[in-house]
Amino acid sequence: MGAYDAFKQQVVDTAQRLVAGGYLKGTGGNVSLRVAGHDAFAITPSNYDYTRMVPEDVCVLDWQLHVIEGARKPSIESALHAVVYQARADVNAVLHTHQVYASALALINAPIPALFDEQVRYLGRAVEIIAYAPSGTGLLKNNVRSRVRNGHNAYILKNHGALVLGHDAERAERNVELLEKCALAYLLALCTGRHIDRIPLAVREIAFAQLRKDEKRYQ
């Protein structure tokens, strides 16, 4: 068994569960995991059906995006994943989805304020919008690098989709689900045209402090 096999298997399993949950569709989005103990990460290949994917299809790259293992072309968003791992020592899983409700907020440029305790506890003080840049460009990479340092675990990519982080694959998956629940509730609330209440500021800060404590533990 190769040094990366377990990580590659987990990338496939995570991607396929996200497809089953409706968070990834067709070949859109991408999934990566940090390879513990190596300056490397395992990432889904470019433009390849998740339902057919097997561990041999997963690419292992170093931070400069050189291919260490894998015959397929890596995701065009590989640079975006690499900058997150370099900027955030606590993050071991990066999920980029085109999930529908968060994507709807990406179109109306609506960050999600602190609406629920659980949201802040796991995703951060707010789900912010990362400025638009075309997929696979250095500009998008730079926009992501400058934002993820705030310690949040979910971001909306303007006119594109979502970027969700976690200290492991399972937490990142839960964060994708939580983001979608918050995005849908917020969209429905916006549709009423009525005032939208946020959680009290003191509660927000307590919940965010718990998230920051976790992040220190996983560094």
Q: How far is the CB of 76 from Zn ion (least distance, A)?
A: 8
Q: How far is the CB of 82 from Zn ion (least distance, A)?
A: 15
- Classify residue 45 by its DSSP letter: B
Q: How far is the CB of 103 from Zn ion (least distance, A)?
A: 10
Contacts to Zn ion from residues 66-105, by CB under 5 A: none
CA distance 121 to 145: 22
Give the residue with the Cβ less far from Zn ion, 2 or 138.
138
In 3D, which of 22, 20, 18 has the Cα closest to residue 31?
18
Give the residue with the Cβ less far from Zn ion, 161 or 166.
161
Number of residues that bind Zn ion (CB under 5 A): 1
Q: Per-residue x/- marks for Zn ion, 117-146, CB under 5 A?
A: ------------------------------
CA atoms within 13 A on the CB side of 159: 6
Total Cβ atoms within 10 A of residue 1: 5
Give the residue with the Cβ less far from Zn ion, 96 or 171.
96
Contacts to Zn ion from residues 157-176, by CB under 5 A: 161
**Six-digit token string for 107:** 């179109």
**Six-digit token string for 9:** 């298997």
Stretch in the footprint of Zn ion (CB under 5 A) among 11-19, 33-41, 52-60, 156-164? 156-164
Q: How far is the CB of 91 from Zn ion (least distance, A)?
A: 18
93 DSSP β-pair partners: 33, 166
Give the residue with the Cβ less far from Zn ion, 43 or 114.
43
CA distance 212 to 142: 23
Strands 93-97 and 40-43: unpaired
Q: How far is the CB of 77 from Zn ion (least distance, A)?
A: 6
Q: How far is the CB of 204 from Zn ion (least distance, A)?
A: 29
Main-chain dihedrals φ then ψ at residue 104, nearest 5 degrees: -65, -40
Residue 5, classified by CB atoms within 10 Å of its CB into exposed (0-12), middle (13-18) or buried (19+), is middle
Give the residue with the Cβ less far from Zn ion, 53 or 211.
53
Give the residue with the Cβ less far from Zn ion, 78 or 153.
78
List of residues contacting Zn ion (CB under 5 A): 161
